[in-house]
Amino acid sequence: MSGVIKSEPFVINIGPQHPSTHGVFRIKATVDGEKVIDAEMVMGYLHRSMEKLAEERTYTQNIPFTDRTDYLSSMSNNLGYCLAVEKLAGIEVPPRGNAIRVIMAELQRLASHCMAVGAFANDTGAWQTPVMWAFREREKILDIFEVTSGARLTCNYMRIGGVAFDLRPEFEPMVRRVLRDFPPFIDEMEGLLSGNEIFIARTKGVGVLTPEMATNASLSGPMLRGSGIAWDIRKADPYCGYEQYDFDIPIGYNGDSYDRFIVRLEEMRQSVRIIQQALDGLPGGPFRTEVPLALRPPKGEAYARIESPRGELGYYLVSDEGPSPYRFHIRPPSFINLSALKEMTVGGTVADAIVVLGSIDIVVGEIDR
């Protein structure tokens, strides 16, 4: 024994039924005392074979599927898919449609980040208070979605060539109210968590991702920006007219969980700015170009990507001139971001692993599809 106490490593299953895995995801962690010495990710519990199913349905019929991949940001997923189809078929979207899409996507980013920030705080142990506060604000945005699209979570609002319906008259005052309420809420969250000693102690230096690791694992979204890399599809490869709006990319310092958290908070501020500009300059005119219901895009392939709340969301479509896609593939940001989980958790404690998982902000519907 040489005077050193050795403990036996044992395997502990974090998930598939665990309060902090945000769905049915499982980390098979080998722990030595509290220390994680190996972590294996097990996924597929929520696999619904969406990509294969989509090959049997028409292009329009596939839009509801995209709602159910990342169910916390259905608007962004609709948008990504519609952009891919439009690219494939060469369809132009009218300016009003684009502006509505931007507003919706940014509102969705607010709602999704509310959830991300709240759930992350819950994972650090702030017992439900931040998540409840975040839900309170998220409700207001979901109300807007309900008024506009008829659904709160799975909106199915974007259409190929624009959006499904025009905005209702009560839309603008509701959004203005959200814009008024949101900056104080972000300040409130900052006051509750950003400067909190316990929160800093729990998240600072936990799950550090160096810029090299982040790029090598092809991460995107707040994960990448937290590591100090200025990358945002909205700036780098603008879509829907994002180039007209003035906003900044927040980037972190060390790439730890804390940086990812403050980056998300700041992204919410920037989203409020974008919505403000888009709403002030909302053009008139048609909100959609008419597209045949049984769309048959020309032979070819297209990849469209957007900056979803979780990172680069890409849709890859191959058309064989049939009414349904020959190949339908999603590049889910959660799934790719998760690939760095092992590097971030091994060496930390079990509690750290939970915090790291929370800071990735996964949606299992998107990972397993």
Partner 1 sequence: MTPFLTSDRWYDIRDLGNLSSAILEALDKVLPFEVVYILAAVIGFVASFLLFVLPSQLFVGVYGERRLIGRMQSRLGPNRVGPFGLLQPIADAIKLIQKEALTPTQADRAVMYVAPILFVMPAVLLWAVIPFGEHMVIADIPVSLMYFLAVSSLPVIATFMAGWSANNKYSLFGAMRIVSMVISYESPLVLTLLGAVVLTGTISLSGMVAWADEFNIWVVFVQPLALVIYFICVSAELNRTPVDIAEAESEIVAGYLTEYSGMKWGLFYGMDIGYALAASGFITTVFLGGWTFFGLEAWIPGWLIFIAKTYLIYFLFIWTRGTLPRLRADQLMAFAWKFLLPLGVFNLLIVSTERMLWFEQDYAKGLVYVFAAVNIALSAVLVYVWARFNGYRPERTPTRPRLVKQAGGYIPVGERS
Partner 2 sequence: MMDGFGPSLAFWVLAAITLVAAGGVMVSRNLLHAVLFLILTFVGVAGFFVLLSADFIAMAQVIIYVGAIAVLVLFAVLLTPRSSRDNSETRWAAPGILLAVCLAAIFLFVVHDTAWRTVDAAPANLSAASLGRALLSTWVVPFEIASVLLTAALVGAIMLTRSPEEEAEDALA
Q: Which residues bind partner 2 (CB under 8 A)?
A: 3-5, 7-8
Q: Which is nearer to partner 1, 249 or 318 (CB)?
A: 249
Determine, following the binding rule CB under 8 A, whether residue 39 of this chain makes contact with partner 1.
no
How many whole angstroms separate alpha carbon 335 and alpha carbon 347?
A: 22
How many whole angstroms separate alpha carbon 132 and alpha carbon 115?
A: 9
Q: Which residues, 65 to 84, sit near partner 1 by CB under 8 A?
A: none
Task: Report the alpha-carbon angle 75-79-84, nearest 5.
Answer: 155
Structure tokens at 1: 């024994």
Secondary structure of residue 159 in the 3-state scheme: strand
Contact with partner 1 (CB under 8 A) among 70, 86, 256, 259:
259
Least distance (Å) from partner 2 to the CB of residue 254?
Answer: 22
Q: Which does 285 bind (CB under 5 to 8 A by kind): partner 2, partner 1, none?
A: none
Encoded one letter per residue, x for contact with partner 1 by CB under 8 A and - for no contact, window 161-190 reads: -----------------------------x
Contact with partner 1 (CB under 8 A) among 47, 48, 52, 136:
136
Sign of CA dihedral 270, 276, 282, 286: positive
Q: Give the number of other Cβ atoms within 10 Å of residue 17's Cβ.
A: 9
Q: Which is nearer to partner 1, 212 or 290 (CB)?
A: 212
Q: Which does 12 bind (CB under 5 to 8 A by kind): partner 1, partner 2, none?
A: partner 1
How many whole angstroms separate alpha carbon 91 and alpha carbon 93?
A: 7
Least distance (Å) from partner 2 to the CB of residue 364?
Answer: 34
Determine, following the binding rule CB under 8 A, whether residue 8 of this chain makes contact with partner 1.
no
The number of CA neighbours under 13 Å toward the Cβ of 19 is: 10
Instruction: Using alpha carbons, list the distances in angstroms from residue 72 to 19, 76, 152, 236.
Output: 18, 9, 10, 24
Instruction: Using alpha carbons, list the distances in angstroms from residue 101 to 93, 104, 115, 199, 279.
Output: 10, 5, 21, 35, 11
Contact with partner 1 (CB under 8 A) among 42, 44, 90, 129:
129
Determine, following the binding rule CB under 8 A, whether residue 196 of this chain makes contact with partner 1.
yes
Q: Which is nearer to partner 1, 59 or 242 (CB)?
A: 242
Structure tokens at 286: 């048609």
Nearest 10 degrees: Cα torsion 158, 160, 162, 168: -40
Site residues (vs partner 1, CB under 8 A): 10, 12-13, 18-20, 33-34, 121-129, 132-133, 136, 190, 192-202, 204, 211, 215, 225, 227-232, 235-236, 248-254, 258-259, 262-263, 266, 349-352, 354, 358
